[in-house]
Structure 1
Amino acid sequence: MEALLSIDYTYDFVATDGNLTTGEIGQNIESDLVALTKDFIEREQFVVFAIDGHDPNDSYHPENKLFPAHNVLGTKGRELYGKLAPLYEENKEKENLYWIDKRHYSAFSGTDLDIRLRERGITTVHLTGVCTDICVLHTAVDAYNLGFKIIVHEKCVQSFDEEGHRWALRHFKNTLGAEVI
C-alpha cells in the first residue's frame, strides 16, 4: 500500500509575498503536485497534508530563531497554496485524506503519522512539497529510519535554496535508497 505526503505547500512557502517563500520556483511545481494529489485522491489512496503550524511567541521553538515567522497558526500564510487549496476543501471529508499539524521539519516528529500509515498497511510513501532540503528531507530520513520505501517526485518538490535542493535529491537516492522519479 502507498500514501502521498504533501508537505508544507502553503501560502507562506510558495506565494510571491509569502513570509519564507520559494517564490516562482515553488509555484512552478503546482500543476504537477496538484495532478499527483488528485490522482491519489481519485484512486482512494491515503493522502496526508503535513503542514507546519507555528506560534511566533513560542520561545522554546528553535525555528523562531532561525527563520522569520511563517505558517503562523490562524493566518493566511498557513493555508494551502493555489489549486491545492480547493482540491483539499472539496475532498477533506473523505476518509483517505488526513491533515497533520506539525511543529518540526519532519512530518513524523511529534505526530501520529507512523501509526496512521501502519494501521492502513502502508509500506511506501510518496513525498511532495517544500522545502526539498528541509521538511521533505527530514521527513524522508524519518521514513527511512522507520522502514518505509520512499519515492520522491522531483517535479513536485522545490526549495528556496537551489544548491540544497539538488543536494537533497542526490541524498534521497544515494543515502536513503529512495526512488527519485
Structure 2
Amino acid sequence: MITDLEFDGAEEMREAAHHAADRIAWLRGEADAAGVPVVYVNDNRGQWHSERSRLIEHAMREGGSGRDLVRRIEPRKDDFFVIKPQFSGFYSTNLPVLLPKLSATRLILTGVSADICVLFTAADAHMREYDLWVPSDTVAGSDRQRTRWALEIMEQSMHAETRATTDLSLADWIARSEQP
C-alpha cells in the first residue's frame, strides 16, 4: 500500500485502494490495541537500491498520485517494514525469518493488488501453514471481478477468512484461534 499509484491499472483501482486504506488504518488501530505487531511488506517498484524511508518519500512526494493514500497508512517507527522484489511477500525477503521471531501463527493480509501480490503472498503463507484472514474491504485491485476471484481462491483453496472488517472484528478473529 506504500505506492505512488503510478503503474498500469492504478487509475482503475484508485477508489478501491483509498477505501481499503481507510479500513487498513482502522484495523491497524485494532491491532495496536490488541498488541498485534504490524508488518508492512512493500514492493520495491524497481528501486533496487532503496529502503523504507526512500520508498515512503517517493510515494508521498509533492504532487504524487499516492500521497493521500500513503498519508492514511504511513508506517510508524515501530512498525516492521519488509521490501519485496516480486509479487509474494515471502519470495527473497526476510519475512520467513521475521514471522517466527514474532511467534506468528496467524496472518492478516491487506493491500494491493488483490489478484497478484496479496494472492501470491497468501499462497506462500498457506504453504507455510499460517492461518489467514484477508478482509475483503482491506484489499484492492484494478478489476473488481478479478479481486472477487482472488478472494474466492484464498477462501476456498487456502481456507482464508475473507469477511470484511465490518463483519468480523480482530478480537473475534483472535478469540477464534483460542478455541479448542
TM-score by length of structure 2 reads 0.74
The count of residues paired between Structure 1 and Structure 2 equals 149
In structure 2, distance between residues paired with 1:145 and 1:106: 12
Within the candidate set 70, 81, 84, 2:73 is matched to 84
Asked if the contact 1:30–1:82 (Cα under 8 Å) also holds between the matched residues in 2, the reply is no
SS in 1 for 2:71: coil
| TM-superposition CA deviations, 1:121-177 (whole Å, max 9, x none) | 210000111111010000000000111111111111110021210100100111111
SS in 1 for 2:70: coil
1:75 aligns with 2:63: no
1:10 aligns with 2:2: yes
Unaligned runs of 5+ in 2: 49-53, 164-180
Asked if the contact 1:29–1:158 (Cα under 8 Å) also holds between the matched residues in 2, the reply is yes
Asked if the contact 2:20–2:137 (Cα under 8 Å) also holds between the matched residues in 1, the reply is yes
Unaligned runs of 5+ in 1: 1-8, 58-71
Change in Cα spacing, 1:121 to 1:56, as seen in structure 2 (3 Å) is closer
SS in 2 for 1:104: coil
Within the candidate set 31, 40, 47, 1:40 is matched to 31
Asked if the contact 2:4–2:58 (Cα under 8 Å) also holds between the matched residues in 1, the reply is no
- Give the equivalent residue in structure 2 for 1:127: 109
In structure 2, distance between residues paired with 1:148 and 1:56: 30
TM-score by length of structure 1 reads 0.74
Runs of 4+ residues deviating >2 angstroms? 10-13, 41-44, 54-57, 72-80
In structure 2, distance between residues paired with 1:179 and 1:128: 12
Structure with bigger strand share is 1
The one-letter amino acid paired with 1:121 is S
